[in-house]
Amino acid sequence: MVAAAKSKAPAKSRRTRRTGRRDPLAITLLKKDHRQVESWFDEYEQLEDDGEKLVLFNKIALALKVHTQIEEEIFYPEERGEIEDDMLDEAYVEHDGAKKLIAEIEEMQPGEEFYDAKVKVLGEYIKHHVKEEEQPGGIFAQAKKGDEDLDAMGERLKARKEELMATMGAERAN
């Protein structure tokens, strides 16, 4: 009897949204970036080879640089007035802290003292930032309640991201 009750429980937890409405494109794209970077941080934790760590960290760094730039150039300024000022101000400061830590890590090599620790702390820092953007009442929730066309903004975010990935990715290869 108990086993039957346990097997039915997961079926109820599969529903992820209460409203059934899809997120607007801007939110969908930003959340997709979040999931990608989170998975890379998880993958990094499993690596032992310094060369693999460097390659993966470089992917993480590029993704975070591009993501923060599109948020700072497009999403945050256009949402000012829709989202509480304190939340946006904190998001900018968190971005700044992440950029500084990324720069520190980029000056190092895997295997150096504190390299892995700094990557781990960066991951925790990003996880905290993502939570603040995605939680109920957070930045994304407030943005969705505003008047801005988040689908049109999503198109601008997508185009800018592609442009930055091409230029920053090329710079990194040189």
pLDDT at 42: 97
- The whole model's pTM is what? 0.85
| Token pair of 151 as six digits | 């689908």
Nearest alpha-carbon partner for 99 in 132, 129, 144, 131: 129
Classify the C-alpha dihedral 127-99-160-78 as positive or negative: positive
pLDDT at 14 over 90: no
Helices (H), ranges, 47-149: 50-70, 76-79, 85-106, 115-134, 139-145
pLDDT 10s digits, 79-138: 999 999 999 999 999 999 999 999 999 999 999 999 999 999 999 999 999 999 999 999
d(C-alpha 135, C-alpha 138), whole Å = 5
The pLDDT of 64-75, averaged and rounded, is 98
Q: What is the pLDDT of residues 142-173, one digit of tens each?
A: 999 999 999 999 999 999 999 999 999 777 66
Residue 50 near residue 41, CB atoms below 8 Å: no
